[in-house]
Structure 1
Amino acid sequence: MSIEWVNLAVEGLRAWGHEKGVEVDVDEVRLLCDYASDYLEVNELGDFRAGTFEELLLEIYPRKVIAPPESAPETVAAARTLVDFLLDTGEIGIKTAARMRTTIDAIEPEMPRALADTTKFGMAKSIFSAIGADSLDLADGGTDPSQDGLDETAGEGFDRPGYAPLPPVRLASPQEVARAVREVPLLRDAHRVAAWMAGEACTTTVRKELRVKDARRLTAELGVGRPALAWRLALGLGLARLEGTAVLAREGLGPLDAVPDDELLTLWAGAVDFVVEASTDITGVEIVDKEIYSIHDLLYRLQAPVPLEAIRDYLQEVAADRPIDQLEKAFHDLAHAGTVQYDEDGLALTGHGLWGLRTRYEAMGVSAPIAADLAEGDASGLIAGLITDGLPAEVAERDIVAWLSRRTPQEAAAELLGAVAGAPAEVRGIAVTIVDRLGEEAAGVVRAHLEDAELRPHAVHWLSTRGLDAPALTQDEVLWLSVDMLALALPAAEADPEGFAENIALSGPPAHLIDDMWHVDHPDVVEVLELLGNTLPDKAAAKSARKAAFKARSRGIR
């Protein structure tokens, strides 16, 4: 991402618009320039050509930008403004401008169709489109209401893979991050290379690069696998400096293990910038280095390992017909830089990589929320956090385990069940799902809730599945429990209807149970039956669910 020339171009455009009295959509033009720089080898304004706009608006935008088809006119208008600016400032000639305008005229009716064509979506765009409209309110190029007052340049780069707000993340403590950073191979190599180069009174080439003989000695004597990369990082972090071509170590440079934590974290933030900006050869695989920002951004947002094949598919879209080789080696090399880890589960951010990337987002003026430590709160806080924070399953699981570890089974059951009396099904369902993890020690607490009409069916089920003495459920209670547990699944079904349909096909309620569900006095019974009617693969069962939903509506249950 070539932010520097894009920033200069946008500032020039803003001044030009003010002088000419032209209204300029700065955000859209910035997006055009960013993508042209990232994917079409446009390194300055004069590199724009008619074909650049065709590839941008009909190929790259549909693949990368989460935007509705009706937003196309705004983007086309911004492209025309950019052409006017390029011509007026002498970056292009009259004939080139005419070709560009002819191309844009032809693009205008095609672009809405291209934006709507899901077959054109790239992997990252498809993932974030599936998150839902509520999380993509910024897809039209607007600003996050929580960021009022931020500089207009805030959020640069967050057009990839969309303008979706960043999810809350759980961070390791600064001490844990510092411990991990001290073991990052590339940073350790950079630190050793800086000290060695200065100690050996080495000089660089006039281009500030390592001499071949020094690179060989660094590998032979220090075991530095990629000395040229380590040297560039050392220079970029100020661990070494040059006087002409003479190498001097930073004053006071000592062993990395002796660097104070706060200073080390500052170094690490700079190292993450160095890696993510991909201003140099990080892995040696061109397409990976080119997409290194997008890969890190995707991993940050998903907070879960991404399989190699999924990333390969994404990179193949970007690379078009060019073959992609040595992908596994590239990811191992990227892991050497410390921001990611790569194993059989796929590629994921390291804990210190997550910390460094969030620091980078903050420096860019982008809201990068931290998820509350749910283990520190009470049962109500735990349940509310699990519902509203949108944490990945792995993070949520860690929170639940940590919360339970600080309580006895009796205390946990009492807190959880006591917090959900009279609560909606989703809240109650999360509580009883966590209580279901507890052993027989919690039996007394669970048994005490047999008198609660809403919790009684869950309590009976909990006791009976453990072979403990429990009253039998009545038919009405069985029906109510079935509806209540299905109501818990409603949010997940809305987020992933195909996944829900697969699960319900395997473990859905039997037809005779569905027929009687309309009798249940449950606030979510209509919604549950409508969901079953729309998702059950068995046509007869689905029809029964729709009929039952009609009967429940007729009773006035909503």
Structure 2
Amino acid sequence: MSIEWVNGAIEEIRAWGRLKDIEVDVEEIRLLCDYASDYLGVGELADFTPVTFEQLLLDIYPRKVIAPPESAEETVAAARTLVEFLLDSGEIGTKMAGRMRERLTEIAPEMPAALADTSKFGMAKSLFAAMGADDDSGDTPLPFPTGFAAAGRQARQAEAAECDCWECSPLPAVRLPTGADVAAAVRADGLLRHAHEVVAWMRHGGRTPTARGALRVRDARRATGELGVPAPALAWELALSIGLASTGPHEETAGPPALADRDDAEVLDLWAGAVAFLTGGPLAPVTGSPRVDAELPVLHDLLYRSQEPLTLEAFGEHMSGAWGADERDPPDAPQEPPEDLGAALDALALLGTVERDGDELRLTPQGLWGLREVYSRMGLTAPVAPDPADGDASVLIDALLGGVRPAQAETDVTGWLERRTPPEAAHDLLEAARGGGAPHRGAAARVLDRLGPEAASSVRSFLEDLQLRPHAVRWLERHGLDAPDLTPQEILWLDVDVLAAVVPAAEADPAAFESTVAAARPSARVIEEMWQVDHPDVAEVLDLLGRHLPDKDAAKAARKAAFKARSRGIH
């Protein structure tokens, strides 16, 4: 948002209202200008058109602004006032003003229904509405009437099966850290710890907040210097929101217990409140970038749903409107992400929900735990994935094939193996791979390679299985143990099976596959023989080699071999 032109425009409109003795809803007009700047590329008052008002009032407002349907009348009235100012100030002509008035007359009866349509809600607005619906205390004014928010949530859940947008898709099952680990991480650092430190510092120094309860600017500066807290105003806002601090006069009390003195259950409950605060629209600036702050609910939700790191480039594309995190964003939305995106996300990482590793951003374990707790309290189904270490080998293999991060995969495999003897683990792995596809055999073989010679007896028991025999023989050979010889046909079958196991990964990351294949340098003669292998995936493997082999002759041989395999009826 270009704050300068909006501030200047508001001052002009305020002065115009005084001169004309017209009551001007300055805050509503400011909101119109802010959203026009943020989402519609409006850079000055002269850029307003009838279409601008249509997009603002029937698209942007329903998605972004937390307001009941009956507020539409006030918003349209403010838009009419803005039109009169634009005409009087010479920003638009008489004909343009007439077209704007006509369009606002058409919009007026449509806007209440648009504000009430929950299918239009963006992520931030949905979070506010749903969290408001769960607050039955009556102490805090709700952004919507409780019944309205609850109805909206029920409608979204009912429509989820029919809608394939990312906001309506079911939440994935997640692997949660233990409560003890989350509590320990929260006590060590992050926004909740900062809130406790700022409250204790305020009380110890006899300091008081402003008349409105905010942290004084000078106190914020001192807190940063003396405590090393990166965002003291934000920490104070959190303390107010979860009851650690008061907006009233300072009282000489000991204040809330320190995090170190609270039990895990208390810490976890406070942390859930902190995550809800951070992802639900805190009053104080979070990252130093208003645009990034506005997208924090979406950013956290994307990280939670994808369960994968998000690159700064990808989030920048989302910020610019090029990536469809919300397909309803207008096509002429601002096309440049904030220049300080990296610095803004670094500031966010200090608060505990996310961590940055080079060009990637991911949820911290405590951030993942907190988001799931927020979703659960909103009434959403937020499933927890089982620990593979508690299941048999098929559970572990399914988890590995599900795309877990390398660090998580290592933890899963280590935990699973620790609970079994090597012979037990080998037998369970090969039994789970029996009758499965190449990816299952490949995953089982990779875990099997972690076992030593003491697992040999279990491995030998699968030498009679036609599909597992080549893998078992290869394992015995790698461990320097006696093993039967594989026939040339079995060796070729094993090569195809190993390649078939990585087909999904190769399709997802062709460059990595091309690098691996280039290093292996399979000869055209070997590739030409592959079509004869009685393997269900041989044609797909040859297609893959034909697309990605750097050697043109070998690639051509693979394409010809794929044709021959299909002619044989091998698919």
Query: Fold-level match, TM-score > 0.5?
Result: yes
1:142-181 aligned within 5 A: 151-153=154-156, 163-181=168-186
1:453-492 aligned within 5 A: 453-492=466-505
Which of 316, 326, 339 is the equivalent residue of 1:324?
339
1:298–1:101 distance in 2 versus 1, CA, 3 Å: farther
Is the contact between residue 240 and residue 248 of structure 1 (CA under 8 Å) also seen in structure 2? no
Of residues 196-205 and 358-367 in structure 1, the stretch that sits farther from structure 2 once superposed is: 196-205
* Corresponding position: 1:96 with 2:95: no
- Percent identical pairs in the alignment equals 48
Q: Which amino acid aligns with 2:433?
A: V
1:57-456 aligned within 5 A: 95-96=99-100, 98=102, 151-153=154-156, 163-198=168-203, 202-215=207-220, 218=223, 222=227, 224-243=229-248, 246-247=249-250, 253-279=256-282, 280-308=284-312, 311=315, 315=319, 320-321=335-336, 324-325=339-340, 327-344=341-358, 346-387=360-401, 389-456=402-469
1:150–1:261 distance in 2 versus 1, CA, 3 Å: same
1:464–1:231 distance in 2 versus 1, CA, 3 Å: same
Q: Which amino acid aligns with 2:52?
A: G
Q: For residues 338 and 288 of structure 2, what CA distance do their matches in structure 1 show?
A: 15
1:463–1:276 distance in 2 versus 1, CA, 3 Å: same
1:78-109 residue CA offsets vs partner (Å, 9 max, x unmatched): xxxx9xx8899767557336558999xxxxxx
1:29-69 residue CA offsets vs partner (Å, 9 max, x unmatched): xxxx9x96994399xxxx996236679999x9xxxxxxxxx
Q: Which amino acid aligns with 2:383?
A: P
User: What is the CA-CA distance between 1:487 and the residue it aligns to?
Assistant: 1.9
Q: Which amino acid aligns with 1:172?
A: P
Is the contact between residue 156 and residue 364 of structure 1 (CA under 8 Å) also seen in structure 2? no
* Structure of greater Rg: 2
Q: Which amino acid aligns with 1:269?
A: A
Is the contact between residue 353 and residue 366 of structure 2 (CA under 8 Å) also seen in structure 1? yes
Is the contact between residue 36 and residue 52 of structure 1 (CA under 8 Å) also seen in structure 2? no
Is the contact between residue 241 and residue 248 of structure 1 (CA under 8 Å) also seen in structure 2? no
Is the contact between residue 480 and residue 520 of structure 1 (CA under 8 Å) also seen in structure 2? yes
Q: For residues 159 and 211 of structure 2, what CA distance do their matches in structure 1 show?
A: 33
Q: For residues 268 and 441 of structure 1, what CA distance do their matches in structure 2 show?
A: 46
Match of 2:329 in 1: none
Q: For residues 156 and 537 of structure 1, what CA distance do their matches in structure 2 show?
A: 48
Is the contact between residue 449 and residue 455 of structure 1 (CA under 8 Å) also seen in structure 2? yes
Match of 1:546 in 2: 559
| TM-score calculated relative to the size of structure 1 | 0.68
1:385-435 residue CA offsets vs partner (Å, 9 max, x unmatched): 333x44334323321121122223322212111222233222222111211
Is the contact between residue 543 and residue 559 of structure 2 (CA under 8 Å) also seen in structure 1? yes
Q: Which amino acid aligns with 1:242?
A: T
1:332-385 residue CA offsets vs partner (Å, 9 max, x unmatched): 432221112234474322111111112223333443332211011111221233
Which ranges of structure 1 fall in alignment gaps of 5 or more residues?
1-32, 61-74, 76-81, 104-147
Secondary structure at the residue paired with 1:341? strand
Which ranges of structure 2 fall in alignment gaps of 5 or more residues?
1-31, 42-47, 64-68, 81-97, 108-150, 323-333
1:454-533 aligned within 5 A: 454-497=467-510, 499-507=512-520, 509-533=522-546
1:397–1:459 distance in 2 versus 1, CA, 3 Å: same
Secondary structure at the residue paired with 1:348? strand
Q: Which amino acid aligns with 1:211?
A: R
Match of 2:44 in 1: none
Q: For residues 415 and 185 of structure 1, what CA distance do their matches in structure 2 show?
A: 42
Number of equivalent positions: 450
Q: For residues 315 and 232 of structure 1, what CA distance do their matches in structure 2 show?
A: 26
Q: For residues 101 and 386 of structure 2, what CA distance do their matches in structure 1 show?
A: 53
Is the contact between residue 287 and residue 347 of structure 2 (CA under 8 Å) also seen in structure 1? yes
Q: Which amino acid aligns with 1:167?
A: P
1:481-534 residue CA offsets vs partner (Å, 9 max, x unmatched): 112112212333444455545544443642212212222222222333333334
User: What is the CA-CA distance between 1:439 and the residue it aligns to?
Assistant: 2.5
